[in-house]
Chain A
């Protein structure tokens, strides 16, 4: 984990309410795909945790959805704005368990953190399949980005207005070695029930500090209590205990 100042290089809408923000600064705190940053916003008491879509030595890309006042304020920030970030938060995905043919399943703004993961897996020579789930055609993004990496991409929409009609689970391939997923919790549960191999799930929670001090985002797992911000956000399938 590192705290440093970043400058906005790009901040553009991808859909009606999903934005892509590129930030320049010291990314050396990031150690793994699937980690997140926590952003200090002027006038807001708590930082905003956003997963990292992609990063290199001097910049990182965030894709975020406007869901409240904080993310609305982010979407209106001009290029050149400086932001105070905590980077390299959380555990991220475990690439060593991918096998030869990993499957990546993303839903809505759960798609972005899978991008850097896909990039790394492709680089390792894996045959990467990706399922991207959205509600409707107007919400689809990132399809071309994954295709450019060389992934086999399937898009699903709930209303059938684009790609395969249905949820991500209706597009599961017959064989894959391991899976990685991120998305809304009902989708994660459906993936949990529909998948036949082991895999990893990235969770979202309301957080306070973002690095394990406040205990605001704790959950129960088969292997004990975990803080989503610290021992998560990625949990393995075999350790998940669903609430209720």
Chain B
């Protein structure tokens, strides 16, 4: 049987295949290395990282749905300094390829400063700007729903980094095309589609929402057609 060449050039870096687990689904990667060799992936996008350590939202943070799940993790992460000094060295022991850094923020200045720091890390191949987290107030999605904000933050980040910049967009907008064009005008090298769709699950026994902050982001096979349409 002949081998299929799955290599692609991904924004200037050749990767073995286009399989790239999305940020938030894959932690900092090394957790999965107990189960299989994670080097079989093209790369993956690591857990959304902010300047300060974040605990995230109250639990429950996960609820199952038919053909997917909703989550409201709320960007739990140890903060960019610890990501660089602790998480990425742990990853480097089991993953020998460039990784995609998912960067979040609560202000334009925070996005810029986080991106500038992560840009200097050797094993980071690409920076993914998360302007679309549905589960934190005043951050992420607050940027991603306004074309001018997206353009400004992308422009500001591009000034301080050397690596390719991908902007992750939210489907929770009236016109995703306008946002994508704003990212392009700001100088983005690519866009990633999509962040999760806002959703709600009710516990039928209590009549209350299951999740700790009531709503969450829907992901899984259920949203694949929506994502494909956005692409």
- Range, interface on chain A: 20 to 34
Proximity string of chain A (26-45) to chain B, C-beta cutoff 8 Å, 1 when within and 0 when not: 00000000000000000011
Taking chain A's interface residues, is the majority helix, strand, or loop, or is none over half, making it mixed? loop
- A211 partner residues in chain B, CB cutoff 8 A: 31, 34
A149 at the interface (CB under 8 A from B): no
A-B contact pairs, 12 of them (CB 8 A): A45-B66, A45-B68, A46-B64, A86-B35, A206-B210, A207-B62, A209-B27, A209-B31, A212-B27, A216-B61, A217-B59, A218-B56
B26 at the interface (CB under 8 A from A): yes
Asked whether B67 lies within 8 Å of A45 as measured between CB atoms, the reply is yes
Query: Which residues of chain B from 69 to 102 have any CB-CB distance to chain A below 8 Å in the complex?
Result: 69, 71, 73, 76
- A219 partner residues in chain B, CB cutoff 8 A: 59
- B64 partner residues in chain A, CB cutoff 8 A: 44-46
Asked whether B63 lies within 8 Å of A213 as measured between CB atoms, the reply is no
User: With the chains together, A220 CA to B60 CA distance in Å?
Assistant: 13
A206-B59, A213-B32 known; A45+B65 contact, CB < 8 A: yes
Proximity string of chain B (200-227) to chain A, C-beta cutoff 8 Å, 1 when within and 0 when not: 0000000000100000000011000000
Proximity string of chain A (128-169) to chain B, C-beta cutoff 8 Å, 1 when within and 0 when not: 000000000000000000000000000000000000000000
User: With the chains together, A217 CA to B73 CA distance in Å?
Assistant: 9
- Range, interface on chain B: 20 to 34
- Closest CB-CB distance, A119 to chain B, in whole Å? 26
Asked whether A214 lies within 8 Å of B25 as measured between CB atoms, the reply is yes
Asked whether A217 lies within 8 Å of B32 as measured between CB atoms, the reply is no
> Which residue of chain A has the shortest Cβ distance to B211 in the bound complex?
A206
User: With the chains together, A209 CA to B58 CA distance in Å?
Assistant: 18
Asked whether B35 lies within 8 Å of A3 as measured between CB atoms, the reply is yes
User: With the chains together, A17 CA to B199 CA distance in Å?
Assistant: 31
3 nearest A-B pairs in the assembled complex, by CB-CB distance? A213-B27, A216-B62, A215-B76
Asked whether B31 lies within 8 Å of A206 as measured between CB atoms, the reply is no
Asked whether B35 lies within 8 Å of A1 as measured between CB atoms, the reply is yes
Asked whether B69 lies within 8 Å of A208 as measured between CB atoms, the reply is yes
Asked whether A215 lies within 8 Å of B27 as measured between CB atoms, the reply is yes
A76 at the interface (CB under 8 A from B): no
User: With the chains together, A104 CA to B65 CA distance in Å?
Assistant: 36
Query: Which of A44, A205, A214 lies in contact with B71, CB distance below 8 A?
Result: A214
Residue with the highest number of chain B CB atoms closer than 10 Å, among A2, A45, A86, A217: A45
